[in-house]
Amino acid sequence: MAPSIQDEPPQGESRAPALIAVLTLGCVFANAIFFMRMYARAVLLRAFGRDDAVMAFCIFLVVALSITMGIEVQYGLGQHQSAYTDDYYVPYMKVSDEPSSFPYAAYT
């Protein structure tokens, strides 16, 4: 029998550990590549330019986005929406509105 839309997801299932792992590894790799580039440009080539300053600002936004998404995990990010309680839903929505501006600022 195929599952219907009304079927509830199994309780206790959460993708939070996977989200934390992806956020952590993404930040570590992005920062490692960023700092290697900054070392090469500033120390070895002595050619630190405006594009490097923009990259520094963007890496700051990426770290800020990762931190706020980590906070969202505490309020239910990674769980099925039917598992949210009212106690967590309002703080989750407050926290989830802030990081939505970080990628747009980094992309522009």
pTM above 0.75, yes or no: no
CA distance 85 to 11: 13
Q: Which residue has the tokens 């440009």?
A: 41
Phi, psi of 19 (to 5 degrees): -65, -45
Cβ 27 vs Cβ 65: under 8 Å: no
Chain mean pLDDT for the chain: 80
Q: Is the pLDDT reported for residue 1 higher than 60?
A: no
> Mean pLDDT over residues 47-55, rounded?
93
pLDDT at 62: 86
CA distance 43 to 67: 29
pLDDT at 48: 92
Cβ 25 vs Cβ 89: under 8 Å: no
| Residues 57-107: tens digit of each pLDDT | 989 988 888 888 888 888 777 777 777 777 777 777 777 776 666 666 666
